[in-house]
Chains A and B, each alone.
Chain A
Amino acid sequence: MTTNSEMLFGSRTVLARPEATMMQNVARYMWVPMLLMGLMIIGASLVLSLVNASAASDYFGLPQTIRGAADAPGSVIDDRQFIESTNVWLPGFQLLGIGLILAAITFSLASILGVFRAGGVRIQQAFGHEAQALTPPITARLFPMLMMMGLMILIVNLIISVVIGSLAWDVYGHSVAEINAAPEGSDLLGDLGTVNTFKTWLAPLPFIGIATILVGISFAVHTILQVIRFQGQRIRELALAGAGK
């Protein structure tokens, strides 16, 4: 008896050799670099945050009269430039690191699927039966695409953040007094508006990427669940076939 819901998730195929699919083989080697890149980005972000905190400490350690003066020292303006531009792109950079770590988890799950596939074939052949496997269900086809889509969203977010960060660098290259005095219609006020406008939606955008990768992970785990159920069914079929039932 086959339930409709499970018919959606693939049928069976006969395999001659205990081999993982190409994606599963790629995943076996890709999870380590992904994890390392993710960890390096998170580490670099931590260092940058500390440098940014130091700049903020220097900047806000000065009285408002110096910070807000039209002839503020160059070092004060440099600190403000660094703080404001880093605040724009650093969150996107950190979330790319998290995304890469989640992608490493996705690759590990794909690698586990490869082990189940090859192991299932070996066991069936060891008992002298035809080696059957589950054809890739829809979840198996979707999860690598979701992972890649999520990473692309994170990369695009970082690119936009860097562009807006460089615009923030230009804006805050002016003294506070100049920025505050920018007249309506001026380039400086326009750029300040652009920086603040982009910041409102650049904050939630990378979470769409993270959410997409998490959906991919849930599909990968569901695929493993389906494979496990298939293997339970298959091993009982082999026992029944051997017993002549």
Chain B
Amino acid sequence: MSNPHRVDLIPTPPIQTRVYPVLIAVGFLIVLAALIIGAVLATTASDVFDSSKAVRDAAAPGSSLLADQSDLAAIPLWVQPFTFFGISILVAGVFTVFWGLLRSLREARGAAMLEAIPLLLQQSAGEPKGGE
């Protein structure tokens, strides 16, 4: 059995609940982009290692083989920090939703308990309702 979800007696959800999905999505996309870069780089690595060491070492300036070797050495140097950047944004998203949780604890549940529990205790003890 289920009823509609009423939310008329509590404040609107904190802004953090709208911000964190954006951070999570951006962070995840960055990590995914790093994987895609890694996959593209795999084809470069495959091209490079199709050639023997003698051919690789003799690659002429401006040749595609030398450019591929340069990419293979350079790109991984920033891909890993880029991945960690994505993970940091994801962690920032987790932190943001925790911040929203803290606000909800204070503003929705905490405030409601402060107001309602004395009333409920009075009602359950059968005492006449006092001033609010």
Contacts and interface: CB of A to CB of B under 8 A. Distances in A.
A180 B41 CA distance: 22
Interface residues of A, number: 63
A243 interface: yes
Contact of B97 (A6, A197, A225): A225
Interface residues of B, number: 69
B5 A230 contact: yes
Contacts of A214: 24, 27, 87, 90-91, 93-94
Interface stretch (A8-16, A31-39, A41-49, A70-78): A8-16
A231 B105 CA distance: 10
Contacts of A62: none
B7 A229 contact: yes
Contact of A11 (B4, B32, B35, B119): B4
Contacts of A57: none
A232 B10 contact: yes
B31 A208 contact: yes
A241 B34 CA distance: 55
B5 A127 contact: no
Given A197-B42, A221-B98, A243-B123, A237 B50 contact: no
B104 A229 contact: yes
Contact of B109 (A127, A180, A212, A228): A228
27 contacts: A2-B4, A5-B13, A6-B13, A14-B1, A132-B3, A189-B49, A193-B46, A193-B48, A196-B45, A197-B49, A199-B45, A200-B42, A208-B35, A214-B27, A214-B87, A214-B91, A215-B28, A218-B94, A225-B101, A232-B104, A232-B113, A236-B116, A237-B6, A238-B120, A239-B115, A242-B120, A243-B119
Interface of A: 1-3, 5-7, 9-14, 127-128, 132, 134-135, 179-184, 189, 192-193, 196-205, 207-208, 210-212, 214-215, 217-218, 221-222, 224-225, 228-233, 235-240, 242-243
Interface of B: 1-10, 12-13, 17, 20, 24, 27-28, 31-32, 34-35, 37-39, 41-46, 48-55, 72, 76, 79-80, 83, 86-87, 90-91, 93-94, 97-98, 100-101, 104-105, 108-113, 115-117, 119-120, 123-124, 129
